[in-house]
Amino acid sequence: MGFWKSLFNTSETAAATKVPRSEGLTSSGFAGGTDTRIVFSTDRDIDLYELEELCDAVGWSRRPLRKVKKAIQHSFLVLTMWEQKGSRRRLIGFSRATSDHAFNATIWDVVVHPDFQGRGLGKTLMANLIKKLRSEDISNITLFADPHVVDFYRNLGFMPDPEGIKGMFWYPE
Amino acid sequence: MGFWKSLFNTSETAAATKVPRSEGLTSSGFAGGTDTRIVFSTDRDIDLYELEELCDAVGWSRRPLRKVKKAIQHSFLVLTMWEQKGSRRRLIGFSRATSDHAFNATIWDVVVHPDFQGRGLGKTLMANLIKKLRSEDISNITLFADPHVVDFYRNLGFMPDPEGIKGMFWYPE
């Protein structure tokens, strides 16, 4: 699958004119040097060890890579964020969504590397994920937010418990 | 795809000895006559007009059948409930779940026909859905409950907002 440009033909998050069309479009809001840019991708061919490293960096519990691979394969959409320096690319963000391809999507595993937090990149990652889901005619975009990120998602247009609807988790007895 | 028996080899919800093995196992807790039984199925070959009729009966807004068909195709699991009288079968319950096939599942569109409510059939439908998801090694089973069914799901082992996790819905600006 192609990179970013194959999915989004927006100018909203495309700032750089230097980016080769074959590589994708960069995000605005971050400057790490003349040769550094932020690239987004929907390619699922992700180095699982690199993803594990990213998740380690934010303190997530490790998960069996076999299952992570399966989850990526069976997600409706996977959107990754990379820092690109010359030809070198580093995974700095990840997100994915499950869906019935028609009505509902649920977003899981949103992560931005701590070194890259506080620059609006998480917001850009999410905005692009939403944009893509909407372009696929998904009307109901949902997620389950940990308490410390509820405000982050609220600022992106997510509402907790709308009309009293409750997010619920099943716990084995 | 085969009926009920092909997926669940449980005795928990199998009460009838009269049910031919080729037809599936029946649910306990309901007796509508000697020739009436309740049958469950994971077959996705559902008459969409019959499903629409069921959803109409509980007052749901109509949805384009093209999208309903797509959603059924792309759900991880679909579990339907039927009243069977002789060789005649009537759709009386429906449920489905999206999933990444590895970690998370989200349950959508749980419905039991009003004529069959109050007999524990919704509970049986959900119990079987959960059992199947667990058998597929899904660890995180979630749903979004309307206010009037929060207690129904709570009684089935679902917890609202565990550890402060909030269910959130995106609303277009």
pLDDT in tens, A45-81: 999 999 999 999 999 999 999 999 999 999 999 999 9
Distance, CA of A101 to CA of A138 (rounded, Å): 7
Flag whether residue A164 sits within 8 Å of chain B, measured between CB atoms: yes
Residues of A in contact with B74 (CB under 8 A): 76, 99-102
Distance, CA of A7 to CA of A130 (rounded, Å): 12
**Domain residue ranges in chain B:** 4-156
Distance, CA of B52 to CA of A167 (rounded, Å): 26
pLDDT in tens, A71-114: 999 999 999 999 999 999 999 999 999 999 999 999 999 999 99
Please count the other Cβ atoms lying within 10 Å of the Cβ belonging to residue A20: 8
Alpha carbons within 13 A on the beta-carbon side of B72: 22
Regarding predicted confidence, which is higher, A33 or B157? B157
Please give the CATH architecture assigned to the domain spanning B4-156.
3-Layer(aba) Sandwich (3.40)
Flag whether residue B172 sits within 8 Å of chain A, measured between CB atoms: yes
Please count the other Cβ atoms lying within 10 Å of the Cβ belonging to residue A47: 9
User: What DSSP line would sit under A8-42, residue for residue?
Assistant: ---STT---SSS-TTT-PBPSS--S-TTEEEEEE-
A49 is catalytic: no
Residue A34, pLDDT score: 60
Distance, CA of B113 to CA of B52 (rounded, Å): 11
Chain A from 60 to 119: CB within 8 A of any B CB:
63, 67-68, 70-76, 96, 98-104, 106, 108
Please give the CATH architecture assigned to the domain spanning A4-145.
3-Layer(aba) Sandwich (3.40)
Distance, CA of B97 to CA of B108 (rounded, Å): 6
Enter the ipTM.
0.83
User: Would you give the distance in Å from CA A117 to the centre of its chain?
Assistant: 13
Give the nearest partner residue to B171 out of A63, A100, A157, using CB atoms. A157
